[in-house]
A and B are shown apart, each in its own frame.
Chain A
Amino acid sequence: MKQMHAILAALRGLLRQTGATLGLGFLGLIVLIAVFADLLPLDPLGQDFLRTLEGPSRDYWFGTDELGRDILSRVVFGARTSLVTAAGAVTIAALIGVPMGLIGGFFGGWRDAVLMRLVDVMMALPAILFAMALIAVFGRSQGAALLAVGITGIPGFARIVRAQVLTLRKRDFVVAVEAFGGTASYNMFRTILPNSWSQILVQVVVLSSVAILLEAALAFLGVGVPPPTPSWGEMLRTGKSYLHEAPYYAVLPGIVLTLTILAFDSIGRGLSRLIENPRDAALQGSLK
């Protein structure tokens, strides 16, 4: 109930901004299509050997690839790969990073020192190399890519939440809970966390776009999800070999990828703007 109030307020605020509205619209479309892809007359795996590397036509809106597969279908199912990786990675990063930031910031002292050094170590890992190492160990799978992106996303959450805790920790309403006998965990999860949702939400959006890009990069390097599962990065990788004969092959998935990242970024920017400059009282309550 209470969270709904905050989310609705944030949504209303976003819809007042043109950029964020466009971003939300595009992302909504991608998510809808990805979720209901099975209900659409699409076939990402079926091969039409008579019509390979064909340009966009009435039958194949985005054209076909070197095996005669429908690129539109592959883009749509590729969206699933991207979004699942993003969602999984964000979930892992948030579930580990948020408590780390809460505990470190709230207690300070040695707990903070240990957790933050851990964060420093994770920050020092180059995401792609780390992912490739994981894949070398576990083999090519969506899980490995997801795990790699998730782990490299932990520091972002931990740091943002810690900074938020440090500013809220000395605020009177947090001290007040302590004064009437609230425990530390009550204060962390019931007082400080609800006051940090907006910052966390921004980080979710930011990390989602990073995760999608990273997943595409891994696939582009040939270590992403194993074929024949469609992936945008994989399509860019094969598409680049046919740039002369079939430019649309790489360009169209590339455009979709770019627009998706752009959509995330404009939503993120819209949210940050809301935090800095809330317009009405409800927003002030939920985002400040």
Chain B
Amino acid sequence: MTEPVLSVRGLTVSFPGILGRVPVVRGVDLDVHAGEVLCIVGESGSGKSVTALAVAGLLPQTAQVDGSVRVKDTDVIGADAGTLRRMRGRDVGFVFQDPSTTLNPVLPVGRQMTEGQVALGLLPRREAGARAVELLREVDVANPEGRAGQYPHEFSGGMRQRAVIGMAMAGRPGLIIADEPTTALDVTVQAQVLDVLDRRQRETGAAVVLITHDLGVVAEVADRVAVMYGGRIVETGQVEDIFARPRHPYTAALLHSIPRMDTTDRRLDPIPGNPPSPAELPVGCAFEPRCSVGGGRPKCLAEDPALRAVEGGGATACHFWQETPPAMQPAEVRDAPSAPAERQTLLEIRDLKVHFPVRRGILQRVTGHVRAVEGVNLTVHAGETVSLVGESGCGKTTTGKAVMGLTRATAGDILLEGASVLGLKATDMRSARRKMQYIFQDPFSSLNPVKTVEDIVAEPLHIHGLYNEMGGAQRIAELFDLVGLSTSMFGRYPAEFSGGQKQRIGIARALVLQPRLLILDEPVAALDVSIQAQILNLLEDLQKELNLGYLFIAHNLSVVRHISDRVAVMYLGRIVEESDRDTLYDMPVHPYTQSLMSAAPVPDPVAGRSRERIVLEGEVPDPADPPPGCAFAPRCFRATGICRSAPPPFEQYAGSESRAACYHAGPLEPGQSRQRTGT
């Protein structure tokens, strides 16, 4: 076998903490060969990013790094700055998570892409311009000659990330490290970027280390997978083996806890508890406190298992790996969604429009409007979950905020239990707000940092003067119990809680006024997968118990399929398709829905890779200047002349539950999308 491009042995990294050094990476061994894609998967705090930074020698001075890291023929640990710099320019390319902060905003993109090569003397300065154009062309940026001289703000997010990939590849490195390269991007753009990364990797034969938390992305691109937990690799293996026959209870539990697009009949099986903090690792196996296999056996409690090879390839760090549950375990079956007898209408949105004025010049004259929401109709019944799905900028959050009265509606009407909530007096609006509540995406910023969590949950009661009437501290304690928190946490501040706990606090606060309707704006998007499952299950239980109506806003199609009763797909301010969940997922008729579904990564390396994928061109247009006719036409594979002339009506699609706004609505025929997939 050939020499690996990257070889890591016994890597340990620790950072200074309040009580001595905190071990973040505890003994990692890795080999990556040319032409191979290794995915490192793990939750936050598992040490995956630190491992990547250590490989590139990018850790700060305060980090204590031991072990050995070899990239080609460079020993990274202990190398001097000059050696490292040469190595990064020649042998290693790095792609960071957020393309909007990776690029320097005051330098033209083309110049940045070749800057490193020029500085290292690998590229003559006068050839830099031509090389930049070439690099941009290689990563599918349209009009590379014109684009090379532009600044990062003139690039869209997906284009920026492709430019960063081009930059990482500029020196034709043998190793590319990509740290969550698509996490900040929309699914259709993610598909483009993964496509480019995959193609460039095959063309250059580079080895790729891709770090991600998304098992769908792993299944899509990986050859080999390393699962990290608590600063160590707990399992490695070929991607098919990992997904089909996990050999570590953590891998199996992760697979059980993710919602899937292809199944709906099972309740999620979350991993209990939280990922360990590197400062407070258990003595024995780091996963033992959350493990379903260990069950408190003395060996697990006392001895941290070593990573050892097992028959059939791969390696696991578990004492009892033979007992690992299978990947597809029939978990607890969910109750079939029973059609409720009387379905009380909670929320009715009628032809809602929200326009934001665009002001220009010193006189601040209104020169145009951003049409964030352009005619949305939607109904939510009690006990029902209606989801709004779409990419960023499609107007789904604005719709939610307009319902809450946090954003002023321009036209249309919003009825809550039959009464309009638009144009209410301040006092009437306050009482209307008792019936509906909002749950925010980011649990880290939605809780007031200077209040104790008890006060945070009680705050709505105080505002409405209902604290004593609703039972005071007793009521708060009930709510803590309802969302699975302990009342012993009352006096603590939000900073002392983990993300999942904070989201529970946010849910408790939303429920304290006994609302009928919850508007959930990406409630699990900021959480680790194992915690996501806990929160989704909690939301399902609460809905059943309290007969709540949910307006669920999300971009993650698997989560939406799992939780929804009905789904509406939004594109550029309009609903393009709406149906009951299973009809929409089994037979989408709008080409945008079809593209979204095909772009979403599927956590199944066999079926996922064989399916037909539609990679959309371009990105969502600017809502201040939407294309004429159907807004999706410029990216659509079915578009014809009529699509560009007038917006299509929103109509029932014959023989189906679905309604869609498309002249050419219809199920996807095999091969149909091919004609325009080349980007």
Verify B494–A180 contact, CB threshold 8 A: no
Contacts of A286 in B (CB 8 A): 449-450
User: Knowing A172-B442, A173-B445 touch, does A179 contact B437 (C-beta < 8 A)?
Assistant: yes
Chain A interface SS verdict (over half):
helix
- Say yes or no for A25: interface residue by CB 8 A criterion: no
Distance in Å: Cβ of A93 to nearest Cβ of chain B: 23
Q: Using an 8 Å CB-CB cutoff, how does the interface string of A42-86 with B read, 1 for contact, 0 for none?
A: 000000000000000000000000000000000000000000000
Contact A177 B493 (CB under 8 A): no
Residue of B18, B441, B446, B463 near A182 (CB, 8 A) is: B463
B449 near A288 with CB under 8 A, answer yes
Known: A180-B513, A182-B463, A282-B493. A175 touches B450 (CB 8 A): no
B464 to chain A, nearest CB (A): 6
A contact residues, total (Cβ < 8 Å): 27
Residues in A neighbouring B431, C-beta threshold 8 A: 181
Of the candidates A177, A197, A285, A288, the one whose C-beta lies within 8 Å of that of B459 is A177
Q: Does A6 contact B (CB under 8 A)?
A: yes
| B438 and A194 contacting across the interface, CB-CB below 8 Å | no
Report which of A173, A180, A281, A284 forms a contact with B463, defined as CB distance below 8 A.
A180
A residues near B496, Cβ cutoff 8 Å: 281
The answer to whether A179 touches B438 (Cβ under 8 A) is yes
Contact A195 B404 (CB under 8 A): no
Q: Contacts A281-B493, A281-B496, A285-B494 given; indicate if A181 touches B460 (C-beta within 8 A).
A: yes
Interface centre among A176, A178, A186, A288 (most CB of B within 10 A): A176
CB neighbours of A194 from chain B (8 A):
448, 450-451
The answer to whether A176 and B493 touch (CB under 8 A), given A171-B445, A181-B433, A191-B448, is no
User: Which residues does chain B contribute within 8 Å of A279, judged by CB atoms?
Assistant: 18
**What residues of chain A lie closer than 8 Å to B200, measured between beta carbons?**
none
| B450 x A285 contact (CB < 8 A) | yes
Please, which residues of chain A bring their CB within 8 A of the CB of B463? Answer: 177, 180-183, 186
The reply on B447 being an interface residue by CB < 8 A is yes
A181 and B464 contacting across the interface, CB-CB below 8 Å: yes
B495 engages A180 (CB within 8 Å): no
In angstroms, Cα B118 to Cα A115, docked, is: 52
Given A281-B496, A282-B493, A176–B446 Cβ distance below 8 Å?
yes
Given A179-B406, A280-B18, A281-B495, check contact A173 B447 (CB 8 Å).
yes
Say whether A2 faces chain B, with CB atoms less than 8 Å apart. Answer: yes
Q: Chain A contacts of B441 at CB under 8 A?
A: 172
Please, which residue of chain B has its CB at the minimum distance from the CB of A3? Answer: B450
Chain B residues with Cβ below 8 Å from A176 are 438, 440, 446-447, 506, 509
User: Given the complex, which residues of B lie within 8 Å of A191, measured CB to CB?
Assistant: 448
The interface bits of chain A over 181-212 (1 if a CB of B lies within 8 angstroms of the residue's CB, else 0) are: 11100100001001101000000000000000
Q: Quick one: closest A residue to B512, CB to CB? A: A180
A181, B434: Cβ atoms closer than 8 Å: yes
Known: A181-B434, A285-B494. A172 touches B450 (CB 8 A): no
B430 interface residue per 8 A CB criterion: yes
Quick check: A2 and B450 within 8 Å, CB to CB? yes
Q: For residue B510, which residues in chain A have a CB less than 8 angstroms away from its CB? A: 180
- The 8 Å CB contact of A6, one of B430, B446, B450, B495, is B450
Complex CA distance for A155 and B572, rounded to whole angstroms: 44
Q: Cβ of A197: which chain B residues have Cβ within 8 Å of it? A: 450
State how many angstroms separate the Cβ of A175 from the closest Cβ of chain B. Answer: 6
Contact partners of B513 in chain A: CB under 8 A: 180
Say yes or no: A175-B459 contact (C-beta < 8 A), given A191-B448, A194-B450, A281-B496: no
- Please name all residues of chain B whose beta carbon is closer than 8 Å to the beta carbon of A186 when the two chains form the complex: 463
Evaluate contact between B460 and A284: CB separation under 8 angstroms. no
The residue on A at minimum CB distance from B433 is A181
Q: Using a CB-CB cutoff of 8 Å, which residues 419-458 of chain B contact chain A?
A: 426, 429-431, 433-434, 437-438, 440-442, 445-452
* A-facing residues in B379-412 (Cβ within 8 Å): 404, 406
Looking at A180, A191, A279, A282, the one whose CB has the most chain B CB atoms below 10 A away is A180
Residues of B within 8 A of A173 (CB): 445-449
Residues of B with C-beta under 8 A to A177: 448, 459, 463
Give Cα A151 to B291, complex, Å. Answer: 65
In this complex, the member of B406, B450, B510 whose beta carbon has the largest number of chain A beta carbons within 10 angstroms is B450
Closest 3 CB pairs of A and B: A172-B446, A180-B460, A181-B430
Q: A172-B441, A173-B446 are in contact. List 10 more A-B contacts (CB 8 A).
A: A2-B450, A173-B449, A176-B438, A180-B464, A181-B464, A183-B463, A194-B451, A279-B18, A281-B493, A285-B450
Query: B: which residues have CB within 8 A of A?
Result: 18, 404, 406, 426, 429-431, 433-434, 437-438, 440-442, 445-452, 459-460, 463-464, 493-496, 506, 509-510, 513
